[in-house]
A and B are shown apart, each in its own frame.
Chain A
């Protein structure tokens, strides 16, 4: 069955960098785009960007461009999300999700990130 397993919770100081992994399984890694979506405490969903593991093509939301990078590793079937220059308002649950036809059909369990001095 399709699963997306993310790395564990992170606590970071302001100004630091964050790297979170997402390991999909149960399907051919290069067949589907992977997206990242975050959710601040008590807030809604915010799309951050996507990667095509087949060719490493990426598209980022405008507000994250410059400090957000997605990469993929076909040897380990893993997608990585990196966010730099962290601020306290980057504290959120970060999800990876697979893009099926017209929607995000499978989601990771979420990675809680806390940014605090």
Chain B
């Protein structure tokens, strides 16, 4: 039950840049921005950014987030094999009074 819209998959070459998108509405992403999570197979999600473009300590500067209106973006530069993972966006939805997630984007590094 995805509340936010993400492309199911993105493929990019090693050392290139990937930009993942997450589209919501004025009740969620457009209101408070989005957070981005990375999940490797068999592991819990890991927070990459919050409130649009804040990175927790320890997260590589290769990960940068931004927002335009109700669409959030995560840009990963200098792609590495370890960046292959599922990426989810999340946001609080004021209208639903609930947290919503995107359906996730599977990033493949070729």
Q: Identify the A interface with B (CB < 8 A).
A: 35, 37, 44-47, 50, 59, 61-63, 95, 97, 100-110
Q: Are A47 and B100 in contact (CB under 8 A)?
A: yes
Interface residue B35 (Cβ < 8 Å from any Cβ of A) = yes
B35 and A109 contacting across the interface, CB-CB below 8 Å: no
Q: Which residue of A lies closest to B98 (CB)?
A: A61
A45-B98 CB under 8 A given contacts A101-B50, A102-B51, A110-B44: no
Number of interface residues of B (CB under 8 A): 28
- Of B2, B51, B90, B103, the contact of A104 (CB 8 Å cutoff): B90
Dominant SS at the B interface? strand
The answer, yes or no, to whether B24 is at the interface (CB within 8 Å) is no
Of the A-B pairs whose beta carbons lie under 8 Å apart in the complex, a sample of 28, sorted by A's number, is A37-B101, A44-B2, A44-B86, A44-B101, A44-B104, A45-B37, A46-B1, A46-B101, A47-B100, A47-B101, A50-B99, A59-B97, A62-B98, A63-B1, A97-B45, A100-B50, A101-B50, A102-B33, A102-B92, A103-B37, A103-B50, A103-B51, A104-B37, A104-B47, A105-B56, A106-B47, A107-B44, A107-B45
